[in-house]
């Protein structure tokens, strides 16, 4: 009799597990959303991502809080803001007691795994099943698929639903994968927010090659799920992470940095080709997944909000604003440079606050340009993209302004994203924009005060002091 009862219980568990939705989330690395065809990209080849957007959902106003790898990923996996997890600087680890999606899904019977790039810690906060990292030096797609298939096979044996995060290295410099010969450096279009030089174009085709390689991984994983008859029961999400390390994206609070690409297949939740136009945050992804998969989060557990109602065509905003932050410390070549940036956005305007605007910002990709500007006798053996901007002999007024903007920012920058999606014209001094500027400024300052970040310069000095005392070299 006991054997029969045990058999029935096991059968019921197996049935319950098979009825639960699975999750596969594929994350790129320093990839700007405007390269994807789904977001209007014209030169870069992303057919699998574009098809996913046509078949499923495209999020038009998804934003991260910090345009750097470690803060982005810890916000994604926890649903908590970087202020709360203590991860405003790059290469930082979450404070003790931080809980992640693993803690919320494991009690529901899920196996929660991480394959590829991690860049989060400590393990107590992110106790994923670690399936191992993959190569950055060569195409890692075959290796990634082998490890993913092995995990899916094992989940089938154990009869567990799964939540698999795949962190690709593609589109993070140095660019080593993909096929640059598939692109013609002379024919691609250089965006208006960059200075057109041969050096930039050469890097762009290497960057595009890695994006296309990432897109192939998306297609391979989708085909594998379809082959296993799992597609109809799997939430499949693809995210670009923050923007490229090329200028005015990663390491900034500009739209090119914080505005993330996010497309998804979400069974039974939205019509094919759905477009979500409301503001969402990276921190909203974990609560949305947990709620969808049957979990209940206590109030205050996360900072993000579930966007499930948006998927059901209930167009009530879940955020009036999204916020951004940047800290210059702990970045190669500029570990002790004090240059915090904070930002606030609504659906139309972005306001960027540079408290230490009288100084200069920089990062590893801007170092060469800064040395050339500060010492005209500096002659690098090989120019990188920003160095080539400085060296360009016939700079137009627009190009001169872009070169100046590399390291110099106004205290406040206000952009009308409806009229100026590339944030080329700072209208902070426009009398016609004073009302919206003051409204956004007041909201931003109130938020920073509530977060204990009322004085971002002091906040950043604290980070630098901590690094200096510990002698870190990350």
Structure tokens at 395: 């700079």
pLDDT for the residue numbered 472? 42
Q: What confidence tens digit (pLDDT) does each residue in 275-327 have? A: 999 999 999 999 999 999 999 999 999 999 999 999 998 878 999 999 999 99
Cα 41 to the chain's mean position, in Å?
18
Mean pLDDT of 183-212: 97
pLDDT for the residue numbered 14? 39
Residue 471 pLDDT exceeds 70: no
CB of 373 within 8 A of CB of 438?
A: no
Q: What confidence tens digit (pLDDT) does each residue in 8-53 have? A: 433 343 334 447 999 999 999 999 999 999 999 999 999 999 999 9
Residue 343 pLDDT exceeds 90: yes
- Give domain limits for the chain: 17-316, 325-366+407-470
Listed in order, strand segments (DSSP E) in 186-246 are 234-239
Mean pLDDT of 211-233: 98
Q: Residue 325's closest CA among 3, 161, 73, 82?
A: 82
Percent of the chain clearing pLDDT 90 (strictly above): 88
Mean pLDDT of 122-145: 97
Residue 84 pLDDT exceeds 90: yes
pLDDT for the residue numbered 19? 72
- The mean predicted confidence, pLDDT, of the chain is 93
Task: Tell me: cis bond preceding 275? Omega within 30 of 0 counts.
Answer: no
Residue 375: CB atoms within 10 Å: 9
Kindly report the CATH class assigned to 325-366+407-470: alpha beta
Residue 7 pLDDT exceeds 60: no
Looking at per-residue confidence, does 75 or 429 come out higher? 75
Expressed in angstroms, the distance from the first to the final Cα of the chain is 61
Residue 466 pLDDT exceeds 80: no
Residue for token digits 């998927």?
311
pLDDT for the residue numbered 224? 98
pLDDT for the residue numbered 329? 86
What pTM was computed for the model?
Answer: 0.93
pLDDT for the residue numbered 335? 83
CB of 182 within 8 A of CB of 46?
A: no
DSSP-based three-state secondary structure for 365: coil
- From residue 325, how far is each of 130, 197, 420 by CA, in Å? 29, 30, 21
Beta bridge partner(s), residue 129: 113
Residue 454 pLDDT exceeds 70: yes
Percent of the chain clearing pLDDT 70 (strictly above): 94
pLDDT for the residue numbered 470? 52
- Under the banding of pLDDT at 50, 70 and 90, the label for residue 468 is low
| Superfamily of domain covering 17-316 | Alkaline Phosphatase, subunit A (3.40.720.10)
DSSP-based three-state secondary structure for 464: helix
């Amino acid at each position: 009799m006991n054997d029969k009862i045990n058999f029935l219980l096991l059968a019921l568990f197996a049935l319950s597990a098979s009825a639960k939705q699975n999750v596969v989330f594929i994350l790129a690395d320093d990839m700007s959303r405007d390269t994807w065809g789904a977001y209007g990209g014209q030169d870069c080849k992303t057919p699998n991502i574009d098809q996913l957007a046509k078949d499923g959902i495209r999020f038009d106003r998804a934003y991260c809080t910090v345009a750097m790898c470690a803060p982005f990923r810890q916000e994604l996996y926890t649903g908590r803001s970087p202020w709360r997890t203590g991860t405003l600087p790059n290469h930082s680890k979450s404070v003790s007691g931080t809980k992640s999606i693993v803690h919320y899904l494991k009690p529901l019977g899920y196996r929660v795994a991480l394959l590829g790039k991690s860049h989060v810690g400590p393990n107590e906060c992110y106790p994923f099943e670690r399936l191992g990292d993959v190569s950055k030096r060569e195409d890692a797609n075959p290796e990634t698929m082998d490890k993913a298939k092995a995990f899916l096979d094992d989940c089938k044996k154990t009869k567990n639903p799964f939540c698999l995060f795949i962190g690709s290295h593609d589109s993070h410099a140095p660019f080593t994968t993909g096929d640059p010969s598939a692109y013609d450096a002379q024919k691609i279009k250089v965006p208006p927010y960059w200075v057109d030089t041969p050096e930039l174009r050469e890097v762009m085709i290497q960057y595009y090659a890695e994006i296309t390689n990432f897109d192939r991984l998306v297609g391979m994983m989708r085909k594998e799920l379809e082959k296993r008859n799992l597609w109809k029961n799997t939430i499949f999400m693809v995210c670009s992470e923050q923007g490229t390390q090329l200028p005015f994206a990663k390491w900034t609070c500009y739209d090119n940095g914080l505005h993330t690409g996010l497309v998804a297949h979400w069974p039974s939740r939205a019509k094919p080709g759905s477009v979500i136009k409301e503001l969402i945050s990276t921190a909203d992804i974990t609560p949305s997944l947990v709620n969808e998969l049957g979990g209940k989060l206590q109030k205050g557990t996360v900072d993000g909000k579930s966007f499930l109602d948006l998927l059901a065509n209930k167009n009530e905003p879940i955020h009036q604003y999204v916020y951004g932050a940047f800290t210059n410390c702990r970045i190669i070549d500029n570990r002790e440079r004090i240059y915090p940036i904070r930002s606030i956005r609504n659906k139309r305007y972005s306001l960027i606050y540079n408290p230490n605007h009288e100084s200069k910002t920089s990062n590893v990709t801007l170092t060469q340009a800064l040395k050339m500007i500060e010492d005209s006798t500096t002659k690098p053996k090989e120019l990188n993209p920003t160095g080539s901007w400085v060296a360009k002999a016939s700079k137009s007024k627009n190009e001169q302004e872009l070169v100046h903007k590399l390291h110099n920012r106004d205290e406040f920058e206000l952009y009308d994203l409806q009229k100026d999606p590339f944030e080329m014209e700072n209208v902070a001094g426009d009398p016609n924009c004073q009302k919206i500027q003051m409204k956004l400024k007041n909201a931003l300052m109130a938020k920073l005060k509530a977060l204990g970040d009322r004085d971002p310069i002091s906040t950043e000095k604290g980070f630098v002091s901590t690094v200096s005392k510990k002698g870190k070299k990350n």
